[in-house]
Structure formats: C-alpha cells, structure tokens
Amino acid sequence: MLTKNKWIFPSSIGAFVIILAFSIGLSATHANKPSESLSLNKKETKIDFHQTIQDKAKVKGNGNEVSLKTINPVKTSANDIQKEREEFAKQKVVFLTFDDGPSPYTSQLLNILKANNIHATFFIIGNRIKGKEAVLKRIVNEGDVIGLHSMTHNPRSLFASPNAYIQEFEQEQQLLSTLGIHTSISRSPYGSKPYLTMPFRDKVAADHLKLWDWTIDSNDWRYNDNTNLIINEVASEIKRQHEVVLMHDHKDTLKALPAIIELFKDRGYTFEAYNPDLNYSVNFWKDTRL
C-alpha cells in the first residue's frame, strides 16, 4: 500500500531488495577497479636504451612488454624525423668517437661521459669482445652507441678483398647480436681512404652498413704521453658546424677527454652519439650511400 507517497514493503520483500542492491553495488565497484594486469609500475620499468641502434627495442615492466615508442620520445613518423634533421642542420653538434676498444680504460671514459651528461660512439674490435661483455652492455645501457671496427684490425687480411672485408664486419655484427646489441654503423680501420675503393664500398652498401670516418683527428695515437698536444690538436681543428672527433680507447685519451669536452662546450656545441635518423654522412669518399 502507499502512504505519504512512499512504498511500504512487507518484510520479506524488503529484505530481498536490500540483498539485491548490495550485490549490484559490489559488482559495480569491481567493474570500476583498474585491472592490475594492465598497470605499468614506473619504479619497476627498465628502459633499454638500444633504441638509437635497434628497430625493435622493448620496455619490460610487471611482466608486460610495451613498445618503447609509446613511452619514450623515439621518432614515430617521417614528419618527426624530418623535423629532427632540420633542427640538426641548425645546431652546432659534435660526435665524440672512440676506436679500438673495449680496453681497461673504457669504464673510465664512460664515467667522464656520464659525469658530463653526454653521449658518444664506441667503434670496437670484435676479437676484444670476449670477457668485456659487461662494459659493452654498460655502453648501450647508458645511452651511448657501439659501432663496428672489424674483427681483427689487421690490414693485411682485412683489405685482401671486398669479400674478406665484409666478412669481418658481418662476423663482428653477429657476435654483438648474441649480446642483444644490434648495430649497422661501422668505421674502417685506418679510415676509408685509400683502402675502400668502389668494389669495397659496393659491398658495404649492399650489406646495409653505414660508414663513418671523421672530421677531426685528435692524433692521440701519435702523441703518446703528451696530453697537451692532443688537446691542442683538437682545438686547432674545430671549425665546422658538425664535427666528428676521432679518438681512441687509450690512457692518453682518458687524460685529455675532460679538456676536450670543455673545448666544445665553450664553443657552443651539443654532444650526440650516432643517430641513424639524422642520415648524416661523413666518409672521405663522400659516398652518400654510406
């Protein structure tokens, strides 16, 4: 019956309605609760900084694999890449590069780079990888880039033929891939001239490798135990908007590096590691394929 515009239920019906409402409330609460299986705990997320040299980098967290592009500022379109290239064209940029590692000094070079919050590119020799796996992983984990510098660094075997040359780089590339490091940037021992004539470069291009020489030779390989000469050599050659500095994974370079970094900072340069998106070609033959 109806009294004062309110329904009055018999006790049994009222109890049923109360139980039904309570059940509906529980269901709604559960439905509105975020699924834990879809969450990504930021504290537990680890970013693999190989994105500069890998096409399929992943971020792992809470058992999920998320494309790096969804949470990290990696270029996702041709328009983004074009904008980055336009910015690069306007800026003064230096690429610090270190050849012939890994060595007992690699970790100390990384310490200096990290202290200055900058990145560099390490062109390593394949037959020096064994036993140095941890430092190679540190290089990429800290945002630096590993490049190929042949297996042996032996000119007699390396430049015997185009096939011999490319086989050494393919072998090193495969060896690095077993460590989860994938790279296509290379540097020929002793530079590309005069050794890498057209048949050699055709092989490099066919193998989809990029080839980098340099714009500044620090001559750290020549000025042993003379840090000031290394620094002065670099200082005298800084003149281009984009510079690629050849250095080596040596003790003397380690001593000179802080001053070299300050030279470029004082002259308004920013520091970058090799980035394939920039499509920046720097080889002595001016071969734009590479």
Instruction: Give catalytic residues, as residue numbers.
Output: 99, 248
DSSP H stretches of helix in 70-226? 78-90, 106-115, 133-141, 155-158, 162-177, 198-206
- Measure CA 26 to chain center: 49
| Angle at CA of residue 112, ends 108 and 84, nearest 5° | 125
Tokens 């050699």 belong to 200
Within 8 A by CB and 6+ apart from 97, the residues are 120, 121, 122, 123, 147, 187, 212, 214, 244, 245, 246, 247
Is omega for the bond preceding 194 within 30 degrees of 0, making it cis? yes
Contact 249, 110 (CB under 8 A): no
